[in-house]
Amino acid sequence: MPQPTIELRDPYRAAFLAWLIPGLGHFYQGRTGKGWLYALCILGLYFVGFFLGEGKVVYWRWVSPLSNPEKFCIYYPGQFFVGLPALPALLQGTLHYFAPDMNAPFWGFMAEPPQNILNGMHPRLGKLVEIGTIYTTVAGLLNILAIYDAFEGPAYLDSEEPAAEEPAEAIAGAGREGVKAGGPA
């Protein structure tokens, strides 16, 4: 029986688009159902978290994690994988690094909030600050799965569900064999 295939088009472009906007890589591949699922789940989580943290839980500052771990924004590397929605923070952090005396552009949108504002958020919002941070970070981490799915295809194709008695080695590469990557666009 011939293996079913999934047309991944250009997987590198699909992966880049999937990073840029969650779900976009799948729309590009014609996998619209999955595109909507990823977009709704990942962007939904991200924006709810962003809203819960009053837009002050996603920011970046250029410091070394080794020499200054206290100041290092440990959550942003996760949030970064949401793509475009998290990029203004990187832009603001970079502008601040090169021009610390300059006022943050775009009314300070996603720039690092002053310490007194950050300190004031916790008594006022309580756990919502942490939940907002977790939501936005998990959204980015989930998009890594979506990016990998756009690049490589799913682990199992429709007819390749691993049987209980099959050894693990036999099914390890099953998803990849059936996926036709890099076909004509």
Partner 1 sequence: MTIAPANVYWLILPLVVSISLVYAASRHESWPRIWMHSLRLCLWILGVLIGSTALLLLINTQV
44 belongs to the binding site for partner 1 (CB under 8 A) = yes
- Contact between 106 and partner 1 per CB under 8 A: no
CB of 29 within 8 A of CB of 150?
Answer: yes
Contact at 8 Å (CB) between 160 and 178? yes
Q: Interface with partner 1 includes 41 (CB under 8 A)? A: yes
Stretch that binds partner 1, among 48-56, 64-72, 73-81, 90-98 (CB under 8 A): 48-56
Q: CB of 44: closest distance to partner 1 in angstroms?
A: 7
The CA–CA distances, whole Å, from 39 to 11, 13, 121 equal: 18, 17, 29
Among 20, 48, 90, 171, which residue sits at the site for partner 1 (rule: CB under 8 A)? 48
Measured distance CA(144)–CA(141) in Å, rounded: 5
DSSP 114: P
Distance CA 87, CA 103 (A): 18
Contact stretch for partner 1 (CB under 8 A) within 55-63, 85-93, 104-112, 126-134: 126-134
Site for partner 1, residues 13 to 32, rule: CB under 8 A: 31
Q: How far is the CB of 37 from partner 1 (least distance, A)?
A: 5
Question: Residue count at the site for partner 1 (CB under 8 A)?
Answer: 36
Structure tokens at 13: 């472009």
Residues whose CB is less than 8 angstroms from the CB of residue 146 and which lie 6 or more positions away in sequence, other chains included: 18, 22, 23, 25, 26, 38, 42
d(CA 7, CA 31): 9
- For partner 1, the closer of residues 46 and 92 by Cβ is 46
Q: Is 103 in the site for partner 1 (CB under 8 A)?
A: no
CA 132 to chain centre: 15
Stretch that binds partner 1, among 44-52, 60-68, 112-120, 166-174 (CB under 8 A): 44-52
Positions touching partner 1 (CB under 8 A) are: 6, 31, 33-34, 37-38, 41-42, 44-45, 48, 51-52, 54, 124-128, 131, 134-135, 138-139, 142, 145-146, 148-149, 153-158, 161
